[in-house]
Amino acid sequence: MRSIPKKRLLATALATVLTMQAGQACALGLIEAYEAAVQNDPTFQSAVHENEAGQQYRVLGRANLLPSVGMSYSKNKNRADTTAPNIIGQLSTTHPAYTSESGVVSLRQPLFNLEALARYRQGEAQTSISDAQFAFKKSDLMIRLFGAYADAKFAEDQLALMIAQRDTFAEQKRVNERMFQKGEGTKTDMLETQAKYDVAEAQVLEAQDNLTHARNFLAAIIGTEVTGLDALSEDFRVMPMQPASFDEWRAIAQEHNPEIATQRFAVEAAEQEVNKARAGHAPRLDFVASYSDSKSETLTTRNQDSTVRSLGVQLNIPLYSGGSVAAQSSQAVANREKAKADLDAKTNQVLVELRKEFNQTLSSASKIDALVKSVKSAQAVVEATQQSVKGGVRINLDVLNAQQQLFATRRDLAQARYNYLISYLRLRVAAGTLTTEDLHTVASYFKPGGA
């Protein structure tokens, strides 16, 4: 049996690339996709506005320590009924009508208020919670984006491999037919190849559907249609692990992971809730000042104008509130202990995820090296099997199986490379150190424009 001409295989591969990457001048790069996602991803935009709202906790808390100023003004028409003895001692009723006006400006500045101080510190903690949550959601956007980008690109790779495999079987089928016409082949060879070709055709259709779905999913994140993506570079080199030890990664995660930081600030907010509740027993001292101007304010001061300026302090001492202060304090203490337990649980969860991604990154690197060698071996097996068929040692089915194994190995290699890159990013998410620089590093593994 004759082997498939290498020139024809190269032409087939080239045609596949051209089919998959038509218009690659407009191929979407990873950084371009990220910039579009920052502007258009609904989930991230929700996080942006949530963080904007969270910034006001600090302002609201601080407001409890600052002076409050108020003004009131009233103007009323009054009609009174007065009964009094007249000059001869008889009771006489009159109905005076007059207009009264009153304006007051007042200021109150807390001097000693434990509840206000606790509210201020709680506002600081709540804003820090919002910032930590937003930092996590920025990292989450990078992971979701690259996951969708890698899935779409892998779907492209899958389709390209399926098309190449189908075309290879189609060429093998033509070879079988020519040999059968010359009396050198068998009907069985033709049927075997036809069966492989039919399966490959079905796989192409399935791969096309998968590609459409993956592109639509990515488009939902970046807010624009996806027609082509940058391709992975063939010069794929695994980066050395930095830091090298898991203990160093664990220390970094405990200090910088935003989910752990969120729970840590939640403990602080709960602590201030305890202080706020206990402050219900504490006295409050305020500086107060007011300025009032009134005209005919009462019946007895009718047709009189008065101006009053006052400065002073006001002391409020709570005595008893039906047990609500004690109940609120006990409730706040229980919630604080819950927050501490949640912090421990989140820390354990993050460290488990960190260990998983650390191991996954290392194993992915080893797997890539093994699959690179496997692809070379599979290619050599295909060529050796084709030569063996000529010598009558192997049969047509062996060639088909060898070719199928080669394409499966290439698919596994592509998948392993994407898995390595996503583990690289997830490891840094778990450690709390993921930045756009890391995304640029991953983007460097792709060829701009699919070139």
Longest dimension (CA), the chain: 151
DSSP conformational letter for 1: -
DSSP-derived pairing of the beta strands 91-94 and 305-316: unpaired
High-pLDDT (> 70) share of the chain, %: 93
Three-state secondary-structure class, residue 323: coil
**Residue 332 is part of which domain span?**
6-76+97-450
pLDDT at 15: 44
pLDDT category at 26 given cuts 50, 70, 90 is: low
**Tens-place pLDDT, residues 327-349:** 999 999 999 999 999 999 999 99
In a domain, 86, yes or no: no
**Tens-place pLDDT, residues 195-229:** 988 998 999 999 999 999 999 999 999 999 998 89
pLDDT at 449: 60
pLDDT category at 287 given cuts 50, 70, 90 is: very high
Check if the beta carbon of residue 391 is closer than 8 Å to that of residue 108. Answer: no
In a domain, 139, yes or no: yes
Alpha carbons 310 and 355: distance in angstroms, whole number: 67
Three-state secondary-structure class, residue 336: helix
CATH of the domain at 158: 1.20.1600.10
Number of other CB atoms surrounding residue 15 within 10 Å: 13
Number of other CB atoms surrounding residue 254 within 10 Å: 17
Average pLDDT over residues 351-366: 93
How many domains does one find in the chain? Answer: 1
In a domain, 83, yes or no: no
Which pTM value belongs to this model? 0.81
Average pLDDT over residues 289-318: 88
Reply yes or no: is the peptide bond before residue 5 cis, omega within 30 of 0. Answer: no
Alpha carbons 293 and 73: distance in angstroms, whole number: 9
**Tens-place pLDDT, residues 228-237:** 899 888 888 8
Round the average pLDDT of the chain to a whole number and report it: 88
In a domain, 88, yes or no: no
In a domain, 387, yes or no: yes
What is the distance of C-alpha 315 from the center of its chain? 49
User: In terms of C-beta density within 10 A (0-12 exposed, 13-18 middle, 19 or more buried), how is residue 192 classed?
Assistant: buried
Strand partners, 82: 94
Four-residue CA torsion sign, 386, 391, 396, 398: negative
In a domain, 82, yes or no: no
**Tens-place pLDDT, residues 385-423:** 888 877 776 767 777 788 888 888 988 999 999 999 999
List, in sequence order, every beta strand (DSSP E) within 38-172: 68-79, 82-85, 91-94, 97-112
Query: Does the structure show a pLDDT above 60 at 302?
Result: yes
Check if the beta carbon of residue 399 is closer than 8 Å to that of residue 384. Answer: no
How far lies 324's CA from each of 48, 162, 320, 333, in Å?
A: 38, 71, 9, 14
In a domain, 84, yes or no: no
Average pLDDT over residues 62-79: 93
In a domain, 138, yes or no: yes
